[in-house]
Amino acid sequence: MATTALDLPAPLGARMASMDFDVTRRAFLLGAASAPFAAPAFANVPAPYDWSASPPRENRAAFVRWMVDNRGEDPTFLGQRWDRLQQCLARRDLWDEADIRAFLMTPRERFVGDENLGRAYEWHHLDIGFGVTITGPHTVARMTNTLAIRRGEKVLEIGTGSGYQSAYLANLTPEVFTIEIIPPLAARTRALAARLIGEGYEEYRAIRARVADGYFGWEEHAPFDKIIVTCGIDHIPPPLLRQLAPDGVMVIPVGPPGAQHVIKATKATAADGTVSVVRSDIYGGAIIPFVPFTGGHQ
């Protein structure tokens, strides 16, 4: 049975340093009782996860029917997810078939909290407590699709937050690593992941999580083919760049607080071994605000 190791900082880490957490059982001990994610009446996922299975896209009704039959999800939220997909496609926030499938297979409503259930598929970010937010679906889609993740690639996420981005990534590759710096938020999110795995979202077993300062990455699992940073900073952290594989891609919000540009940084290696970073702005210069990067690097 898969386990998820949570590397917790002192003082919490001192009490739990030797513990591995089976996300299908013991993660609930990390604070699920206080989490604002009292799940609506969703059915358990009736079928094992199948990488080759993809919901139909010919129309809304066919999509909803397939997802109810194969994923046991609520038709109301499925309809909202379909409608938001159409907006993402129209705005060119999504374009790759694998990413479209990942968007459709990820139940955003399970990650927003009870107070925001009715707003789960609105375009903008939503508060999830602890001074952080869940990024809006259009931004998640564009940042993720820009990475062009292929199955089997190793992906590192900085800023686990609600867990939605990790869940989205788990529908693209079974090699997902995620770091959260806020221990109680990480505990709540792991408890939610445990609940979802228990309901049959087996793909989430692929997510390996830790509590740490994401600025320094996850050295023991490097190199990473792709890195996605979900908080804003005024520079690209050198440790993350070092842990990015040759020709790897990082998407990161860079700029002063509240005024970031989302940068695609590709690590290019010349024939003589010289390393350079090729940068482009995935929003063509538009400002996209993110919560700030925090940690001991400051």
Query: Model confidence at 47, in pLDDT bands (50, 70, 90)?
Result: confident
262, amino acid identity: V
Mean pLDDT over each residue of the chain, to the nearest integer: 87
Q: Compute the CA torsion angle 213, 208, 55, 164 (nearest 10 deg).
A: -30
Cα separation, 181 vs 194, in Å, equals 19
Residues 6+ apart with CB under 8 A from 141: 88, 93, 94, 99, 103
How do residues 166-188 score in pLDDT, each as one tens digit?
A: 999 999 999 999 999 999 999 99
pLDDT of residue 210: 98
Residues 6+ apart with CB under 8 A from 107: 42, 71, 73, 77, 81, 167
For range 71-99, the mean pLDDT = 97
Cα separation, 36 vs 253, in Å, equals 28
What percent of the chain shows pLDDT beyond 90?
A: 80
For range 239-261, the mean pLDDT = 96
Residues 6+ apart with CB under 8 A from 95: 89, 145
Q: Are 40 and 110 in contact (CB under 8 A)?
A: no
SS3 207: strand
Cα separation, 77 vs 248, in Å, equals 35
How do residues 118-177 score in pLDDT, each as one tens digit?
A: 999 999 999 999 999 999 999 999 999 999 999 999 999 999 999 999 999 999 999 999
178, amino acid identity: T
Q: Are 99 and 85 in contact (CB under 8 A)?
A: no
For range 264-287, the mean pLDDT = 93
Q: Are 12 and 183 in contact (CB under 8 A)?
A: yes
- Name the residue ranges covered by the structural domains of the chain: 4-37+122-281
How do residues 73-85 score in pLDDT, each as one tens digit?
A: 999 999 999 999 9
Task: Please state the φ and ψ torsions of residue 277, each to the nearest 5 degrees.
Answer: -120, 120
CATH code linked to domain 4-37+122-281: 3.40.50.150
pLDDT of residue 297: 76
